[in-house]
Amino acid sequence: MRRGWLWIGALLLLGGCASSSRPIDEIQIIQEMGYDFENGRYTGTAVYPTFKQGPMTKPNLLTTTSPTMYDLIPRLSSKSPLPIEEGQLRLILFGKEFAKRGVTQITHSLARNNKVGSHLLLGVAKGSAKELLHITAKTTLSDTLYLPNLVEQNEQSMNLPKTNLHLFLYRYFSPGSDPFLPYFEKKGDFVKLEGLALFRDDNYVGHVSLRDAFLMKILLGETKNGVYQLKVGNRGKQGEDRVMLQNLWAKPKFEWKRDGSRHRLDVFVHIHASVRDYPSWFDPLMGKQLDNVKKKMENELEHNIERLFRYFQKKRIDPLGFGDFVRSVTRHWDQAAFYREYPDLDIRPHVTVDIVHTGIGE
């Protein structure tokens, strides 16, 4: 008898699951969404796949405008013959003018939406998000996930630090850090990842290149991959005077101390790198040449890290979370006092590079 009731319960559960299913060709699955502010109005652009025979899909777009950002989704629904579903949303792209005005309303709305995962990707377009989404829909033909795949590939194997909705909100609400997002630009008929967009609170205030994004990735302590190009001479043809180094592992360490009447933050970075490529005249087996590359890389990285710090201080932003670190080692940390001192804070980078090996050919 007991087993019979168990079977009945299982059938009811299966029946409930079946009744909530919806055929894929009866809904509009939004996979990317763009937000812009143009001529005093908000513009929303949605990218959705149209399913053809077999696994092939074709990206299509819906666009609408409104005097407020809150009813963009309902207005998009009024243009769609099928109900809009946000459960497969993979990326939100903000136009630069929209991001300058603040993205809090959208990110908070996404955080409250139980259909959207916390690993949703966000990004900023140099110009119009609508234009960049139109370009990707036109040039990629069957790939509706070109931009999220571009971000994930660069996070896993290249120079981009990890970002998503969860990390954006964490850095936004943290009293000792500021958020950042991938930054895209139009390059001819294609869209290219150009670096990181930087925020003060929820407002876009500037951006850095992918080369500087690599430095941020190192300083955030999440680098196991990434490449760095180093000029080592002026011989041979153009482009044959550079060594390509691949980062295998990097570990940052911070020390907070008082130096006279001021505070000082020492940043120690230890990098293990391999030589990925080098010019024909360069001999990696010659210890002197390798030592010169090591020393040159250390000096160049220290100079570029210091330049990056000065840029952050000038913008009064803290994307590396120095405030969070100082708070962790300071009793009764005063957020207002720290950030009053922050623009003039003495920050000193110290870089050590170990070149582990020089490739399988050696």
- Per-residue model confidence as pLDDT tens digits over 104-126: 889 988 888 888 877 899 999 99
pLDDT at 288: 76
Q: Tell me: the pLDDT tens digits for 165-198?
A: 999 999 999 999 999 999 999 988 889 999 999 9
**Residue numbers in the chain where pLDDT is lower than 70:** 1-28, 51-57, 80-84, 140-144, 223, 233-240, 280-287, 357-362
pTM of the model: 0.85
| Rounded-to-integer distance, Cα 131 and Cα 102, Å | 20
Report CA-CA distances (Å) from 132 to 150, 153, 190, 207.
Answer: 14, 19, 8, 18
Q: Tell me: the pLDDT tens digits for 23-72?
A: 555 566 788 999 999 989 999 998 887 766 555 567 778 888 888 887 78
Share of the chain above pLDDT 70, in %: 81
Helix runs in the chain, H state only: 2-20, 72-77, 96-101, 104-112, 129-139, 146-157, 165-173, 210-219, 287-315, 322-329, 335-341
- On whether the CB atoms of residues 148 and 136 are closer than 8 A, the answer is no
Q: Give the Cβ contact number of residue 120 at 10 Å.
A: 21
Extract the tokens encoding 322. 């120095």
pLDDT at 255: 94
Q: How many CA atoms lie within 13 A of 180 on its CB side?
A: 27
Torsion of CA 216, 296, 315, 110, to 10 degrees: -10
Report CA-CA distances (Å) from 308 to 225, 253, 277.
Answer: 20, 17, 26
Structural domains of the chain, ranges and CATH numbers in brackets: 25-220 (no CATH), 223-362 (3.30.300.210)
Q: Give the Cβ contact number of residue 249 at 10 Å.
A: 13
